[in-house]
Structure 1
């Protein structure tokens, strides 16, 4: 009888896909760019086989698009697609919160989120907008990961990459970073109290506000918020 389960190592295509996903999200590979296999394989130090598999994964996720007789390109997002993306994010994050509360309550997860909020506050105090944005993304990633649903996490990773793409492309900035800190802490506090309805309401409000700022919404300077 075996004592240990086999060690599961991340596959090379998975690692490559992760690197490409991050580069796309951060704007290092801009929207609309064509991916050239030979150049990417050389830069990543990998063969073209696992690279193609990684690119196929991102195509299935919707981050890349294959155009016949032309090649593979990073997607560009219309305003309608951005709105649809936020609808999906709201649904995923609310579902994650419901799972967390149904399994073992939200206090432990809320404590994790509060630690991320502290990092957000430090970044806000220093007006470090890049660190603020990273902490913002980390907050939402932590929330969904805590639900321990592989499918929700997989979907959410793609949605966060699309969010990063939008923010990077439009060079968004927070008009008042401390306001965003308060919003995130309020969600964590509602989760700690086990108030599922309030968590849902706050998440919807948070996403609606982010979408409004991202798409213009009458603001002179849209805000970078996840």
Structure 2
């Protein structure tokens, strides 16, 4: 193949990608419970595919850290303890802080509009008294924050971290209340970004992660575990 050779564009998502996405969602929503062993035979039947693309999909999730491989036993869904949860939020703080700082430096109006719209969706959900919608809007805000940075690598890392965060929150579903300061924390992050103040932006992202972690760790006897 020469340097001038070109590939035909592929517009269809691969079978392995589709399977990986569905498995990722099942882990996130705890349809596949933490510690559950994955059966190639059962899954290949359910997906209606051969074991080739299924194995490729599962290996992707091993690389992402959502599945663990045990020699001579197979693949299992990861289990998260308190140390893991704290580590997730340290990593999220690094990824989301970097993304927010990039946006603050660039000060692109379209990014700010998307972030404000995400905050507005949270406000609306809070006013409607809809915890599920508020949680979804909360996740959407953090997704928008990283996507608006324009960094594909930050987005890749964030995807796995958000799945792990969802696993934590789903486990505590039903224990949440609605913190009145939740939306304000997100608005303050956007205010700092809009001002182009990178130092303040990083500080507010760190404060938000610290507070979110506190809510999550103490969700059963304190405040809720929004992200």
When normalised by structure 2's length, the TM-score is 0.90
Is this contact kept in 2: 1:32–1:74, CA < 8 A? yes
Tell me the distance in 2 between the aligned counterparts of 1:87 and 1:56. Answer: 25
Out of 56, 73, 80, the residue aligned to residue 70 of structure 1 is 73
Q: Output one character per residue of 1:134-155: Cα deviation in whole Å (capped at 9) or x when no partner.
A: 1111111111111121111111
How far has the Cα of 1:22 moved from its partner? 1.4
1:58 counterpart = 2:61: yes
Unaligned runs of 5+ in 2: none
In structure 1, the partner of 2:198 is 196
RMSD (Å), alpha carbons: 2.2
How far has the Cα of 1:100 moved from its partner? 2.2
Q: Output one character per residue of 1:90-124: Cα deviation in whole Å (capped at 9) or x when no partner.
A: 0001111222233x314321210111112112221
Is this contact kept in 1: 2:37–2:75, CA < 8 A? yes
The 3-state SS of whatever aligns with 2:68 is strand
Tell me the distance in 1 between the aligned counterparts of 2:90 and 2:118. Answer: 24
Tell me the distance in 2 between the aligned counterparts of 1:47 and 1:115. Answer: 43
Tell me the distance in 2 between the aligned counterparts of 1:44 and 1:177. Answer: 40
- Report the CA distance shift for 1:173/1:128 in structure 2 as closer, same or farther (over 3 A): farther
The 3-state SS of whatever aligns with 1:88 is helix
In structure 1, the partner of 2:221 is 220
Is this contact kept in 2: 1:121–1:181, CA < 8 A? yes
In structure 1, the partner of 2:103 is 100
Unaligned runs of 5+ in 1: none
How far has the Cα of 1:45 moved from its partner? 2.8
In structure 1, the partner of 2:21 is 18
Q: Output one character per residue of 1:63-91: Cα deviation in whole Å (capped at 9) or x when no partner.
A: 10111222211100111111111100000
- Report the CA distance shift for 1:42/1:74 in structure 2 as closer, same or farther (over 3 A): same
Bigger drift between 196-205 and 35-44 goes to 35-44
1:209 counterpart = 2:211: yes
Runs of 4+ in 1 over 4 A off after TM superposition: none
Is this contact kept in 2: 1:174–1:224, CA < 8 A? yes
Is this contact kept in 1: 2:177–2:224, CA < 8 A? yes
In structure 2, the partner of 1:37 is 40
Tell me the distance in 2 between the aligned counterparts of 1:150 and 1:199. Answer: 21
Out of 121, 141, 147, the residue aligned to residue 139 of structure 1 is 141
Bigger drift between 46-55 and 199-208 goes to 46-55
